[in-house]
Amino acid sequence: MSELDYYEILEISKDADSNTIKKAFRKLALKYHPDRNQGNLEAERKFKEINEAYQCLGDEEKRKIYDRYGKAGLGSSSGFRGFEDFSDIFESFFGDGFSRSTKKRVDNYVLDVEINLRVDFKDAVFGTQKELKYKIKKPCKTCDGNGGKKNTCKTCGGSGKFTQTRGFMSFVSTCPHCNGIGEIIVEKCKKCSGLGYEEEEICFKFDVPKGVDNGMKIRISQKGNLSKSGEYGDLYVNITVKEDDKFIRHGDDVYIEIPIFVTQAMLGENILIPTLRGEKNLKLHIGTKDKEQFILENEGIENIRTKEIGKLIAQISIKMPTKLNDEQIKMIQNLQESFGVKTNEIAETSLFEKIKGWFK
């Protein structure tokens, strides 16, 4: 079975801009949302496909990888979220009234923290150590994280939930006045201005694992924000890998273009080619063709999970001379005639038969 095309799923062209992608997602997500198609398994399947397609095409970096290598280039670690977490995306378009479940807030901020980390290609391949510097939220010591003096929210009666009716459907969402907390600050804390938290800068050394790929998200336990109860959230590091000027990554395999002179292809020479781990010898065969690929096993990238090493695929690019002096022209004419082809000979059937014989 052929894999589904993300552009076809969202019913857009491959040159669609970000606004077009968002509009297509909004239209289809509304159409196939489970709340409008209860018990319809086909609609649920479509909803999941729309989710996956938008998470790829709606992300500029993931879209570049997908356009170049297809779904395989994203790998199993592409960071796509599951069906239950799709509510986060949907809320950003329609508000949380369409969410499948109301997210519980801890204090007045979420505990998990996300930061972005950009690493060089070679560092992603072999691993490296990076210093991470970011800020976390901690309960304000002056007001114990309350933000000041509070009263029960009159809008939701302290429940933190709010019921909305849209047409024939009713939705329970987070109360817009108290943000789901159930209380309203009536007198703000002077230290934190009613926020309920203060910020602290965190700095530590982080070991980037070998084999990490573009778009991966790495979780570091208990390095996030601190709650009033003393619970730390997690830190999520979003990885972006810089492109290399020689190598192109596709999963655990690496591609490289090897330019050679036409005579090297004809003679089948031994050549040295660059690999991730230094130069390696590559034996060409007589009559090597342009764009022909040579595979070097275990010269690719170590898989971050299985530890298996991918392949290096060396693709040949034959370079032809664009200028010849008289002596070179004469030498090549002599070579040509040695194969039984005369200069300026008309391309007849007999000539094609001769040429075919060279490659047998």
Residue 102 has pLDDT above 70, yes or no: no
Distance between CA atoms of 284 and 281, rounded to whole angstroms? 10
Q: Is 175 annotated as a binding residue?
A: yes
Of the candidate ranges 174-178, 183-187, 246-250, 285-289, the one whose mean pLDDT is the lowest: 174-178
Give me the pLDDT at residue 161, please. 83
For residues 345-358, average pLDDT = 54
Give me the pLDDT at residue 101, please. 39
DSSP for 183-248 reads EEEEEE-TTTTT--EEEEEEEEEEEEPTT--TT-EEEETT-S-B-TTS-B--EEEEEEEPPPSSEE
Residue 355 has pLDDT above 70, yes or no: no
Q: Which of 49-58, 62-71, 104-113, 351-360 has the highest mean pLDDT?
A: 49-58
Distance between CA atoms of 232 and 220, rounded to whole angstroms? 11
For residue 131, give the nearest of 208, 199, 200 by alpha carbon: 208
Q: Is 56 annotated as a binding residue?
A: no
Query: What residue segments make up the domains of the chain, in order of their start?
Result: 1-101, 244-320, 327-360
What is the rounded average pLDDT for all residues in the chain? 84
Q: Is 192 annotated as a binding residue?
A: yes
Give me the pLDDT at residue 170, please. 61
> Which pTM value belongs to this model?
0.59
Q: In the chain, what is the greatest distance between 2 CA atoms, to the nearest angstrom?
A: 100
**CATH homologous superfamily for 244-320?**
Urease metallochaperone UreE, N-terminal domain (2.60.260.20)
**CATH homologous superfamily for 1-101?**
DnaJ domain (1.10.287.110)
Q: Is 140 annotated as a binding residue?
A: yes
Distance between CA atoms of 220 and 236, rounded to whole angstroms? 6
Give me the pLDDT at residue 109, please. 82
Give me the pLDDT at residue 85, please. 45
Q: Is 143 annotated as a binding residue?
A: yes
Distance between CA atoms of 110 and 233, rounded to whole angstroms? 8
Which helix (DSSP H) or strand (DSSP E) does residue 273 occupy? strand 270-275
Higher pLDDT, 310 or 93: 310
User: Which tens digits make up the pLDDT trace of 42-52?
Assistant: 888 888 899 88
User: Which tens digits make up the pLDDT trace of 204-239?
Assistant: 999 999 999 999 999 999 999 999 889 999 999 999
Q: Is 153 annotated as a binding residue?
A: yes
**Those residues with Cβ within 8 angstroms of residue 21's Cβ, 6 or more apart along the chain or in another chain:** 10, 12, 54, 57, 58
Distance between CA atoms of 189 and 142, rounded to whole angstroms? 8
